């Protein structure tokens, strides 16, 4: 999530907290998806 958040930091600064929360949730969701994917392999 940190990498995802870091990549979007400048993007987040341009938007309000709602957008920041949505991006953080999306990043967390993708991280969980990746973990499930690697477990299946």
pLDDT at residue 1 is higher than 60: no
19 vs 6, which has greater pLDDT?
Answer: 19
5 vs 34, which has greater pLDDT?
Answer: 34
pLDDT digits (tens, 9 = 90+) for 13-40: 666 677 778 878 888 888 888 888 878 7
In Å, what is the CA distance from 16 to each residue of 1, 22, 24, 25?
Answer: 19, 10, 13, 15
pLDDT at residue 7 is higher than 50: yes
- Answer yes or no: pTM beyond 0.75: no
């Amino acid at each position: 999530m940190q990498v995802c958040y870091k990549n979007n930091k400048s993007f987040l600064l341009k938007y309000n907290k709602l957008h920041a929360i949505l991006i953080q949730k999306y990043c967390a969701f993708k991280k969980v998806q990746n973990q499930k994917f690697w477990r299946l392999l």
